[in-house]
Amino acid sequence: MKNTIPDEFVRRIPKTDLHLHLDGSLRIPTLIELAKKQRVKLPSYSDEGLRRQVFKNTYKNLPDYLKGFAFTCAVMQDAESLERIAFELAEDNLAEGVRYIEVRYAPQLHINDRLSLEEVVRSVCRGLERAQKRHNRSKLVQSGADVPFHFGIIVCALRFIVPQMSPYYRRLFEIMPYASARQVCATASMELARAAVDLAHNIGLPVVGFDLAGAEAGYPADDHSAAYQYVHSHFIRKTVHAGEAYGPESIFQAITKCYANRIGHGTWLFAHDMIQNPSISDPVAYSNYLAEYVASQRITMEVCLTSNAQTLPRMRNLSHHPLRQMLDHELSVSICTDNRLMSNTSVTHELLLAIDKVRLTPRELRNVVIAGFKGSFFPGTYRDKRHFVRQVIDRYESLVNEFLGGSPS
């Protein structure tokens, strides 16, 4: 079937990125410049060298993919660098038509003697706000020819931590010498949950969500249920990395134990062969019931195609990606980048991949794009969000008329 959706149309339509890691989305020239300035050792100080050795198009496995984060996090230990990286990330998104992003990261990885958790979050917000103001004051936005840009912050708790990961975690292990590593990790998550509520409700920063990232296998989300209960009780929205490296049971736990409003990845939602609980007598029925529940509750799936292809051997051929099953089951799906640097991608590229590999129709493309805005943890009121979504739909439909000659079909 020939693709009838022009690339330029995909580039021009308003888009979202709901699953966007700050420390995985730096510009390489910025990484090199900051590394030289801060005396951080890199394997190479050229774009070509880093692309060849660290930030590759293909990776052996997930550990190989994750190696680059050691270098990016190392240059994100001061307020100025955090602000600059956040500003450039917003600018890169604006340049390709993205009009709403939720930037996620683990603030506890950036706390040190010079930076408190609040200062870490404020620094990122300053960078994003600077790009937001520049765009929203433009003539195109003021005239109604373009939609404004908005953003939110998602703070990430981690399923697994060790003292070497940051000064903050090292101090936490030192003051909890009689606790197990899992107990220390749960404590870090609970403290981040308290911080998220305070930053959002008392200080007024756009902290819109709470996330749990890191290895799924052996590190269940249930360990962090107290932190999720806390943010849930204080009206913070929740997302959980689940179903990326583990099966449907991980997604079930994210929903039932962590009150997830969205699921990060959710790749193995339909993988009944990955179910391990012997008490589940009919794995096929279990995964189908779970999919129907996710669909009916409009729990948005944050799908990251390139990242999946790079880290999951079974996803090398994206034409087999369960995105098609998700769409056929009428799930709420948003296409995201995960890590713009590690995956060398953009939202536009991910949507074009979906069109090419999963055979997204014009109607499905519209549904996926609008689902990103509707499924967002928008920082304003619900009325503000509805108004913003209406602006997006109007802009989208005007571009449909320009490029596709009418309503998508």
Contact 331, 80 (CB under 8 A): no
Cα–Cα distance for residue pair 284/271, rounded to 1 Å: 8
- Considering Cα of 347, then 379, then 152, then 238, what sign does the dihedral take? negative
Summarised one tens digit per residue, pLDDT across range 268-313 is 999 999 999 999 999 999 999 999 999 999 999 999 999 999 998 8
Cα–Cα distance for residue pair 276/241, rounded to 1 Å: 19
Q: Which region among 252-266, 307-321, 322-336 has the lowest average model confidence (pLDDT)? A: 307-321
CATH number of 7-402: 3.20.20.140
What pLDDT does residue 246 have? 87
Question: Tokens in use for 178?
Answer: 């009689």
3-state secondary structure of 341: coil
Contact 213, 156 (CB under 8 A): yes
Contact 128, 47 (CB under 8 A): no
What pLDDT does residue 407 have? 65
Cα–Cα distance for residue pair 50/123, rounded to 1 Å: 27
Q: Does residue 408 surpass a pLDDT of 70?
A: no
Contact 158, 188 (CB under 8 A): yes
Averaged pLDDT score across all residues of the chain? 96
What pLDDT does residue 313 have? 86
DSSP-assigned letters across all residues of 83-149: HHHHHHHHHHHHHTTEEEEEEEE-GGGS-BTTB-HHHHHHHHHHHHHHHHHHHHTSHHHHHTSS---
Please report, rounded to a whole number, the percentage of residues in the chain having pLDDT higher than 70.
99
What pLDDT does residue 217 have? 78
For 123-156, b/e burial (b = at least 16 CB within 10 A) is bbbbbbbebbeebeeeeebeeeebbbbbbbbbbb
Q: What is the pTM (predicted TM-score) of this model?
A: 0.96
Q: Does residue 1 surpass a pLDDT of 60?
A: no
Q: Residue 404 carries which DSSP code?
A: T
Cα–Cα distance for residue pair 235/197, rounded to 1 Å: 8
Q: Does residue 3 surpass a pLDDT of 80?
A: no
Q: Which of 3-7, 134-138, 275-279 has the highest mean pLDDT?
A: 134-138
Summarised one tens digit per residue, pLDDT across range 173-204 is 999 999 999 999 999 999 999 999 999 999 99
Strands (E), 248-359: 262-265, 300-303, 333-335
- Considering Cα of 339, then 345, then 349, then 354, what sign does the dihedral take? negative
User: 29 CB contacts (<8 Å, ≥6 apart)?
Assistant: 47
Cα–Cα distance for residue pair 11/96, rounded to 1 Å: 6
Cα distance between the two ends of the chain: 14
What pLDDT does residue 245 have? 83
3-state secondary structure of 265: strand
What pLDDT does residue 310 have? 94
Summarised one tens digit per residue, pLDDT across range 7-63 is 999 999 999 999 999 999 999 999 999 999 999 999 999 999 999 999 998 898 878
Band the pLDDT of 64: cuts 50, 70, 90.
confident
